[in-house]
């Protein structure tokens, strides 16, 4: 198949979160299955690996009511069957730092910027002579792709393509004042609540993707069910229930080359499910790196964005009580100011048990995953989650709230590979801590938990084959 994949961020070139990881890994996995894949993304000012880009000799010229805009199309050949196309525009992407905003907040012209990406990606395919079978858009930044495909490109060679739209996080919807309709040249007959882009008198770009795509996916089976409820539907649950027959939950994979304890270059010792001696070496190195004393006590850890969604406020509420027991806690992350301050205060109060690194450090993140005994993810909601899968691969038992992709990857119970708790409540998380301590006190059972987790297959090949099957079914309709 010929697949056009459109995303506002693509690792390793640009990334703010899980979307970038998916847009880097899934197209590569599809290409490895023999498909011809082109990814389209902006050429940001702070693009990493920019030296790999080469001109295609083609450029865009788009006309919107707000003006004519255009720019060159650049290319990077990533692998056999996989090319990334970059849309260059100095005003929208090259002349500023940040992908979606800066310290002052979201960029005020994001509707224009990502309309340019959405329409420009379709025109770019035409310019380079690529006629896709599948056009796969992602999140609100590309919500206008299926709209444009239906309403602006219906008489072109792209009209035969089938469209797929993936929801990575429904909470982010791309809502703008309704004058964006005229500014972007969107027909006013689309400004309706039924079958259109209108959402409480605003323009909702994510809704455009939900309404106009041939198939919808999200990043785990459980999250696909959760977003059809008022609690997690963010006002779009009714629409998602109506389109439930077109909604598929496909679990994200992880990069099993980067996250592999057998070959990980960041670790002082390597290990695998049948040779675990290196994990003890990593634990000692982790405690030394964080300045905590050694001892036969369990190490609990986080590597996280410090945010409300991630349940970090609940964790801060619980830790003072949990730390009355003999355990250690290490944390790596950054985010909301009050949560950072909470971790600093905890470290000051328990200096021999708690140590935190406020910021992002890839090498340290790998050491945490390898050296900790338990990994905490008390999320309010979690569309998929990646760290619980990294933890399982590294024999670190995840402690997770039973939501979203955490349910789909972590198995509780006596013969499981992790610890789940249901209620988003202090008592439930404290009970999970106690279960973890009981597990740590039973080394043979702990070893079984670790082995079962490390033997799970979370490779992108599994996910890519599910997308491949969905694409094939769409083409057969």
62-88 pLDDT tens trace: 999 999 999 999 999 999 999 999 999
| Helices 426-440/443-454 angle, 10° precision | 110
Angle 421-427-432 from CA coordinates, rounded to 5°? 40
DSSP classification of residue 223:
H
Q: Which residues of the chain have pLDDT under 70?
A: none
The SS3 assignment for 5 reads strand
Q: What is the pLDDT of residue 397?
A: 98
Cα separation, 61 vs 178, whole angstroms = 25
Cα separation, 206 vs 51, whole angstroms = 33
Note every long-range contact of 265-274, with CB atoms under 8 Å and residues 24 or more positions apart, other chains counting.
Answer: 266/362, 266/363, 266/366, 266/367, 267/366, 267/367, 267/370, 268/367, 271/370, 271/395, 272/454, 273/395, 273/450, 273/451, 273/454, 273/455
Q: Which among 216, 171, 166 has a CA at the least distance from the CA of 381?
A: 171
Q: What is the pLDDT of residue 50?
A: 85
Q: What is the pLDDT of residue 388?
A: 98
Q: Which residues pair with 55 in a beta bridge?
A: 74
């Amino acid at each position: 198949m010929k697949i056009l994949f459109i995303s506002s961020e693509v690792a390793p070139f640009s990334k703010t979160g899980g979307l970038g990881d998916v847009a880097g890994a899934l197209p590569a996995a599809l290409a490895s299955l023999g498909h011809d894949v082109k990814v389209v993304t902006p050429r940001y000012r702070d693009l990493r690996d920019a030296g790999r880009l080469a001109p295609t000799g083609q450029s865009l010229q788009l006309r919107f009511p707000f003006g004519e805009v255009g720019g060159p199309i650049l290319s990077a050949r990533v692998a056999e069957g996989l090319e990334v196309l970059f849309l260059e525009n100095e005003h929208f992407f090259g002349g500023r730092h940040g992908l979606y905003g800066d310290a002052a907040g979201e960029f005020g012209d994001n509707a224009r910027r990502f309309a340019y990406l959405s329409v420009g990606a379709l025109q770019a395919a035409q310019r380079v002579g690529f006629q896709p079978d599948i056009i796969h858009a992602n999140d609100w930044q590309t919500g206008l792709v299926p709209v444009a495909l239906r309403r602006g490109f219906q008489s072109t060679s792209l009209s035969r393509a089938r469209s797929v739209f993936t929801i990575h996080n429904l909470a982010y919807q791309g809502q703008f004042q309704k004058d964006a309709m005229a500014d972007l040249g969107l027909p006013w007959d689309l400004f309706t609540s039924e079958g259109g882009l209108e959402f409480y008198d605003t323009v909702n770009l994510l809704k455009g993707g939900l309404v106009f795509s041939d198939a919808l996916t999200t990043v785990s089976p459980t999250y696909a069910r959760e977003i059809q409820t008022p609690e997690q539907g963010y006002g779009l649950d009714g629409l998602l229930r109506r389109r439930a027959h077109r909604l598929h939950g496909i679990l994200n994979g992880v990069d099993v080359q980067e996250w592999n304890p057998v070959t990980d270059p960041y670790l002082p010792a390597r290990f695998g499910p049948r040779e675990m001696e290196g994990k003890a070496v990593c634990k000692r190195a982790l405690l030394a790196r964080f300045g905590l004393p050694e001892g036969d006590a369990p190490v609990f850890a986080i590597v996280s964005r410090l945010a409300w969604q991630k349940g970090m406020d609940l964790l801060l509420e619980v830790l003072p009580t949990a730390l009355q027991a003999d355990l250690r806690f290490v944390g790596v992350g950054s985010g909301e100011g009050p949560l950072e301050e909470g971790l600093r205060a905890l470290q000051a109060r328990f200096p021999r048990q708690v140590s935190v690194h406020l910021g992002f450090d890839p090498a340290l993140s790998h050491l945490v995953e390898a050296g900790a005994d338990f990994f905490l993810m008390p999320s309010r909601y979690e569309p998929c989650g990646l760290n619980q899968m990294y933890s399982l691969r590294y024999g670190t038992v995840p402690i997770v709230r039973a939501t979203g992709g955490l349910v789909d990857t972590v198995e509780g119970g006596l013969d499981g590979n992790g610890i789940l708790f249901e209620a988003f409540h202090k008592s439930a998380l404290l009970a999970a801590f106690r279960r973890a301590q009981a597990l740590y006190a039973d080394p043979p059972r702990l070893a079984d938990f670790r082995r079962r987790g490390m033997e799970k297959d979370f490779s992108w090949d599994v996910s890519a084959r599910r997308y491949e099957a969905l694409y094939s079914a769409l083409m057969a309709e």
